[in-house]
Structure 1
């Protein structure tokens, strides 16, 4: 089985975010970056499938050289090789085009990625890639089993879960509990240093969108405690101050 796992390089969830260039770019100074948490689930399940069925697992990232440590971590977890498309990920469509171009050249049986990245949270890249490759895509996938060339997936839907069967190839956006995150061991870290990380140039194209301005959420206000006996006061404050009624 030939598996491609796409990973994002995102700020740690505990990082304090600021912006530069008139609030149009993320200030990366002092920010710790990690593999996207949902991509970590996709990677973990991909490693399990490779161990179960054999074949190869390639990690793909659209980004610049500062993501190489996260790519090496993915190699240490169990990927066989990696591809980094040497370009800033400008928007979801741009990223999807780059992924699809690599996929067209290599004919993967299964393309896994997180349901969304935790920086922009667009949640559309898997669908775009599937459309560009003319193969089905599903998300968010919580369970994935393969028998022969048929895949059984469980995905989350409004109000419950849906179980689907589909033939390979597929593009899937993953989330917990599809697999448990894997921590690279010392042997994996050492072997990752010698695994190939191929840097390729992007397909030339213009991004369809560009940020005009970023803004941080408003700071939380002070908490007001209203006695249970003063329901009228609570309702008035919800109407006049919180403005949620």
Structure 2
């Protein structure tokens, strides 16, 4: 049984031309169909601008072609089927997006239906930030802010978690610390993950499956199922897997399977 089935077809942004009744369409996603298992981590890899963030926004409901009041300039078909009706969905962005006028504790409490000091303290402790609960974001390092965004996502105990290159701006040791934290919390909460990244090593380390997209308008060009032998970051096994992949598809990170 799938935790989430996604089918997006011919998704486009429609811009009204000035002084005209005609619309110019920019197709973002041609066709994407994905079935994601419970507790699975699916990593999405593709060239810049291919529609990876649009895919996440569609799953999050930020893009909704059925509601003209929300997205009057979007057309296409978005079909989402969840195993659990109206599941809790978390979203971690490229930037931490913490409110600068709120303390760390208040930033975490902001996403909750009501204040729950026990739960908030527990999640801050889990990410190693209990001592910074009363600090403001400008007093936190970049790594601390990323851990805060992880805490904010998991405090609502999401069934599905979306991540859009959340560790891209971090140095290597801090990024690895955040990845390990993400893995441990996802296992604890049995969270299903869709993780967008440009870093193939990161995708191989985190993912149970890696899905490669074409340039925009996006479609799936290749899927790679993984096992635990590839989980050691930048290991010999991971290096061999990448070598085999690039031997078959030298331009796969550019969204091309052919060698032309």
* Larger helix share, 1 or 2: 2
TM norm structure 2: 0.27
TM norm structure 1: 0.28
